């Protein structure tokens, strides 16, 4: 564990594994811009991206899954207006988007998305097709970071097809860094051990409410020189605002989870630190975690998160949380 929690600047850059890709320590997660939990207008999405840019954020994470391509299109329209080479873009493979057939109307997975069928494909051919289609939606000519998305139920296929294909594309210079993103520590650890990846994105498993990634996944990544991007640091939004109706891991938070988040918040308040600031800083205390992926749907959320990210959080706060049994360290 790091010994200090000094202020962090959103512009500070870190290298992903052994790749040449450098990202800002604060990465804007763009799932909310695809309608995660609630719909977002084009104008709101653009204003949110503009705010992140003004605040120094130069790394953006999206995926075909987010809004059935809606997030990629919105992120792409914004990045087309920025100087080439001034940002780092991450997207994902594993879900191909197919137009629905007549009578085949799937339930929307994101608010406001157009009807679309998601087809899982972790083959080498599927990876290349996914990246080509992402580039078309984004309207730009390069993806810096390509992550295999949610392959926990298709891991053998991904290890046989997707990861070797991404490694070949990295060798060709088509992508700069490769990795995987999901919520499941044991599957990510297998990927780190068996695939030649630069980074992983672990969502919701190294936070003030869930430190399960710290048991084995993060030490394995540190040992192998694989950078960790910690996403879902608010576990939905319950660590940003622990209230009835808050989300925990994509579902309504239970009374027990809300009570625990509030107990953590009370300790934070005794140190005059906002709960959201403590939640943002916690994952970066581990040496394996190089950056955070923080989702936002409004300019205000971005500004608040970047301000919290740049604040000072005393180590004594985390020591007190550990003493009270609220975190494992």
Enzyme catalytic residues: 66
**Pairing outcome for strands 117-120 and 95-98:** antiparallel
Q: Is the separation of the CB atoms in 150 and 121 below 8 Å?
A: no
Return d(Cα 78, Cα 254) in angstroms, integer: 37
Q: Can you spell out the DSSP letters for 132-150?
A: HHHHHHHTSS-EEEEEEES
Q: Nearest 5°: CA angle at 35, between 185 and 83?
A: 85
Return d(Cα 127, Cα 130) in angstroms, integer: 5
Q: Nearest 5°: CA angle at 185, between 324 and 234?
A: 50
Count of residues in the chain: 329
Return d(Cα 34, Cα 113) in angstroms, integer: 7
Mutual orientation of helices 42-54 and 299-309 as an angle, nearest 10°? 20
Distances (CA, A) of 270 to 237, 265, 303, 314, 328: 21, 9, 24, 12, 19
Range 214-227 burial, b when 16+ CB lie within 10 A, else e: beebbebbeeeebb
Return d(Cα 302, Cα 296) in angstroms, integer: 6
Please tell me whether residue 152 adopts helix, strand or coil conformation. coil
Return d(Cα 213, Cα 313) in angstroms, integer: 22
């Amino acid at each position: 564990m790091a010994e200090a929690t000094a202020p962090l600047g959103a512009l500070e850059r870190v290298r992903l594994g052994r790749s040449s890709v450098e990202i800002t320590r604060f990465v804007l997660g763009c799932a909310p811009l695809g309608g995660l939990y609630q719909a977002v207008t084009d104008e709101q999405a653009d204003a949110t991206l503009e705010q992140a840019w003004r605040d120094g954020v130069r790394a953006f994470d999206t995926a075909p899954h987010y809004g059935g391509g809606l997030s990629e299109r919105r992120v792409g329209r914004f990045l087309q207006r920025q100087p080439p080479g001034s940002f780092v873009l991450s997207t994902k493979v594993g879900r191909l988007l197919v137009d629905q057939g007549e009578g085949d109307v799937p339930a929307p997975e994101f608010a406001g998305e157009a009807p679309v069928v998601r087809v899982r494909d972790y083959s080498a051919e599927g990876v290349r097709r996914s990246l080509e289609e992402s580039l078309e939606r984004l309207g730009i000519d390069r993806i810096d970071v390509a992550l295999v998305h949610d392959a926990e139920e298709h891991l053998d296929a991904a290890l046989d097809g997707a990861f070797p294909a991404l490694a070949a594309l990295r060798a060709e210079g088509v992508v700069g860094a490769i990795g995987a993103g999901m919520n499941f520590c044991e599957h990510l650890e297998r990927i780190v051990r068996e695939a030649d990846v630069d980074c992983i994105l672990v969502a919701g498993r190294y936070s003030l409410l869930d430190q399960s990634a710290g048991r084995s996944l993060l030490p394995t990544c540190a040992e192998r020189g694989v950078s960790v991007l910690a996403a879902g640091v608010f576990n939905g939004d319950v660590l940003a605002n622990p209230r009835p109706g808050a989300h925990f891991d994509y579902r309504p938070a239970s009374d027990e989870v809300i009570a625990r988040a509030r107990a953590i918040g009370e300790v934070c308040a005794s140190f005059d630190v906002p709960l959201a600031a403590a939640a943002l800083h916690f994952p970066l205390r581990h040496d394996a975690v190089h950056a955070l992926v923080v989702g936002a749907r409004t300019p205000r959320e971005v500004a608040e998160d970047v301000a919290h990210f740049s604040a000072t959080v005393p180590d004594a706060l985390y020591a007190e949380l550990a003493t009270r049994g609220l975190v494992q360290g």
